Chains A and B, each alone.
Chain A
Amino acid sequence: DAKTTQPNSMESNEEEPVHLPCNHSTISGTDYIHWYRQLPSQGPEYVIHGLTSNVNNRMASLAIAEDRKSSTLILHRATLRDAAVYYCILKASGGGNKLTFGTGTQLKVEL
């Protein structure tokens, strides 16, 4: 699987937008970009995924660069409950549904 690179940690203030970057310069044309997050003492949970176009759902938005070598997860208004480790994961089309987690970004949200 192609590798992703994320900052180890980021900080945000509550009620402000958060932009979590992910670099994936070796992405292949059929790799989807998935984001999961893991809140403290819980299992990971799905956030969003996309292939080429930007995606929005009730949790977040995913902005994908035109060359697909990077993407950004956007939390529009961070709350204390968004404090978690956010994982950016590439999944090939075909070859199973395995998740290969990288190191992720620890997001801290302050009042």
Chain B
Amino acid sequence: DAMVIQNPRYQVTQFGKPVTLSCSQTLNHNVMYWYQQKSSQAPKLLFHYYDKDFNNEADTPDNFQSRRPNTSFCFLDIRSPGLGDAAMYLCATSRVGTQETQYFGPGTRLLVL
């Protein structure tokens, strides 16, 4: 089945130690998104790629960066994780269009020690 895959499902890192979260998709969608979801809160969009065009949300901290080397893969890099960055990170994909369905992966839960 076509899907959005996130690895690992759980990631533990140390305060200030860079960490990379991975997302891959077999849907061949042009658009890929990264959301952050803190405990008991709704998901919040960090940024998205339209093909190779990167679109950052205005309030996304500089500590968060992303790479999309090809259509299938997208990475979330947290340069210096703080305790406040502990959250579920969700990757999603969609076709191009304003009303297109977004397909989410299962998420990676990040713990910062």
**B102 in the interface, Cβ–Cβ < 8 Å?**
yes
Interface of A is mostly: loop
Q: Which residues of A contact B33 (CB under 8 A)?
A: 98
**Cβ of B42 and Cβ of A92 under 8 Å apart?**
no
**Which size class do B's interface residues fall under?**
20 to 34
Residues 91-111 of chain A: 1 if any B CB is under 8 Å from the residue's CB, otherwise 0? 111111111111110000000
Of B13-21, B43-51, B61-69, B71-79, which binds chain A?
B43-51
CB <8 Å contact, B106 and A43: yes
| B100:A97 contact, CB within 8 angstroms | yes
Interface residues on A, range: 20 to 34
Interface pair B99/A44, CB less than 8 Å apart: no
Chain A residues, CB < 8 A from B107: 41-43
- Given contacts A101-B43, A104-B42, whether A43 and B90 have CB atoms under 8 Å apart is yes
Scoring A36, A93, A97, A103 by chain B CB atoms within 10 A of each residue's CB, the highest score goes to A97
- A111, B48: Cα distance in complex, Å: 41
| Residues on the B chain within 8 Å of A87, using CB | 42
User: How near does chain B come to A84, taking the closest CB pair, in angstroms?
Assistant: 13
User: A residues engaging B (CB < 8 A)?
Assistant: 32, 34, 36, 38, 41-46, 49, 87, 91-104
